[in-house]
Amino acid sequence: MKVLVTDDHDLVRETIAAFLIAEGVEVADTAASLPDALAAMANTRYDLVLLDHDMPSMNGLTGLLRAVAEGQGAPIALISGSTSRELAEAALDAGAIGFVPKKMASRAMVAAVKLMAKGDTFAPIGLLESAVAPNAPLALLTRREFAVLRGICDGKSNKEIARDLELQEVTVKLHVKTLSRKLEAKNRTHAAMIARNGGLH
């Protein structure tokens, strides 16, 4: 898994890279600007590019659109210090495979990177679901985990959730395990309780 990390602030760029390396992710290169990132993508095929939205050279989402067009098909995730539902949705609409707030906990960010490198879309559900407060524990869940959690809250079994979402039951079990860890839930009932307290009804 080869990842390119971009950010115009040396400390932020190096910190994100260090988090990823510590968790076994290969940070093949780093870049401090959009031109540097584009040059790197022209020479290397990355499994994921973390592109800083706030770099001066990005010019808003124009830089993302350019990176998607010139990135040789590499999945590109937008990372940003400013978080909003509008920005997350705009990034996904522009072709990003994900939207990652810089304020995410390091382990959550690493999990998101690994998910996106496998080809799955990621954005904190708290930014996309108006029913969920952005600072609630639910904000760390992916869309798929959120859908599985809805099934749990409805009292459905893994088998029923798998059928509803057209997934394998073993996949649902994995999502339940992952979302429970993110929510620090002891069991399914506890996860449902956390979900309701977080605004999911």
- Pair 97, 142 in one domain: no
| Residue 132 within any structural domain of the chain | no
Angstrom CA distances, 198 to 92, 103, 140, 177, stand at 24, 19, 12, 19
Residue in the block written with tokens 């929510």: 183
Alpha helices in the chain (DSSP H): 10-22, 34-43, 62-70, 85-93, 106-117, 125-128, 143-153, 158-165, 169-183, 188-197
| Residue 189 within any structural domain of the chain | yes
Domains contained in the chain, number: 2
Strands 48-52 vs 26-31: parallel, antiparallel or unpaired: unpaired
- Pair 24, 55 in one domain: yes
User: 10-residue block means of pLDDT along the chain (201 residues)?
Assistant: 94 93 94 96 94 91 94 92 82 91 82 88 66 61 85 94 92 92 90 80 56
Q: Is 22 helix (H, G, I), strand (E, B) or coil?
A: helix
The pTM for the full model equals 0.67
- pLDDT tens per residue, range 11-27: 999 999 999 999 999 99
So what's the pLDDT on residue 43? 92
- Domain, as residue range, for 152: 138-197
